[in-house]
Structure 1
Amino acid sequence: MLSLYNGALDVPTLLKDWYEEESTSNYGAYIPFVGTVRSEDGIDGLSFDIYEPILNAWFNKWKEKAKAKGAVIKMAHSRGDVMLHESSYIAAVFSPKRRVALEFIDLFVEDFKASAPIWKYDLKDGKRIYAKDRSTAIKGSGILGAKQ
């Protein structure tokens, strides 16, 4: 399940809803990851643009990888502005065994940072500034990507 929201994520509600959705699925592990906007470089927050067709295709591949391990992956991300100390990203893995969930969430979050088509902007002094220094080029993005 992939969900996109405008603005900051309601972490307690999402985690509770996901837990309730899977509470009778006989999973032994539920491992959430919550990404929060932290204060750095004088920013007031972050803003996000998402290219949904590629994000959906990317997520569907991970959903199939999870299914092959008997697990379920869920993810929520923000579009637009998210202020300091609010959440823009939540992912969770449900699996029969904790080791699968622990290893899978790590791989998923790292690949998300490297591959998801989400562009990050700093919100600073009322301006939206592309966060190039803290962005990762998407593999295979051609002239838009980093030098190979």
Structure 2
Amino acid sequence: MLKIYDGPVDVAELLTEWYGEKREENYGAMVTFVGTVREEGGIDGLSFDIYRPLLERWYGAWRDRLAEEGALLEMAHSEGDVPVHTSSFACAIFSPKRRVALTMLDAFVEDFKANAPIWKYDLKEGRRLYAAERSTPMSGSGLLA
């Protein structure tokens, strides 16, 4: 399931929920990743815009890919403002075998950073500034030639 939070992801509640829902479904592994907003460059936090139809399609393709391995993907991301030292992203992969979950988690997070349709802004001195230097252009995006 894909969850979108208005503001920070409540990591403790979310991981407890995911574990509680899946612990009796005979998965041998639950591997998680949590992204936390770091205090750097004088920012007060980050802010995110999401293009939901594309995110749902991208996420669905990953769920299908993992299902072929007998694994399940859960993901949550923030929309709007997220202060430093709070989380904007969490995901978990459930798999019968740990190696599948560990391998797929790395591939998923790397693809997320490169291709998920989520735009990041710095929050600094009450302003929202596009974080161009820390953003990755999406394949196929931009002006048409």
Same-fold status (TM-score > 0.5): yes
Paired position in structure 2 for 1:138: 138
State the partner residue of 2:37: 37
Q: CA deviation at 1:142?
A: 3.8
Aligned to 2:81: 81
Cα shift at 1:141: 1.2
How many matched pairs? Answer: 145
Q: Return the letter of the residue paired with 1:16.
A: T
The aligned counterpart of 2:25 is: 25
Shift of 1:11: 0.4
Who is 2:6 aligned against?
Answer: 6
1:76 match: secondary structure = strand
Are positions 1:63 and 2:63 aligned together? Answer: yes
Structure 1 segments, 4+ long, off by >3 Å, are none
Task: Report the equivalent of 1:115.
Answer: 115
Summarize deviations over 1:49-89 as a string: whole Å, max 9, x none: 00000000000000000100000000000000000000000
Amino acid at match of 1:56: E
Aligned to 1:47: 47
Matches of 1:106 and 1:87, distance apart in 2: 18
Helix, strand or coil at the partner of 1:79: strand
Does the residue aligned with 2:13 lie in a helix, a strand or coil?
A: helix
Partners of 2:13 and 2:20 in 1: how far apart?
10
SS at match of 2:143: helix
Tell me the distance in 2 between the aligned counterparts of 1:6 and 1:93: 23
Question: What is the alpha-carbon distance in structure 2 between the residues aligned to residue 106 and residue 2 of structure 1?
Answer: 18
- What TM-score comes out, normalization by structure 1 length? 0.96
Paired letter, 1:108:
F
Match in the other structure for 2:126: 126
Give the secondary structure class of the aligned counterpart of 2:12. Answer: helix
Q: The residue matched to 1:143 in structure 2 has which SS?
A: coil
**RMSD between superposed Cα atoms in Å:** 1.2
SS of 2:94's equivalent in the other structure is strand
* Unaligned stretches of 5+ residues in structure 2: none
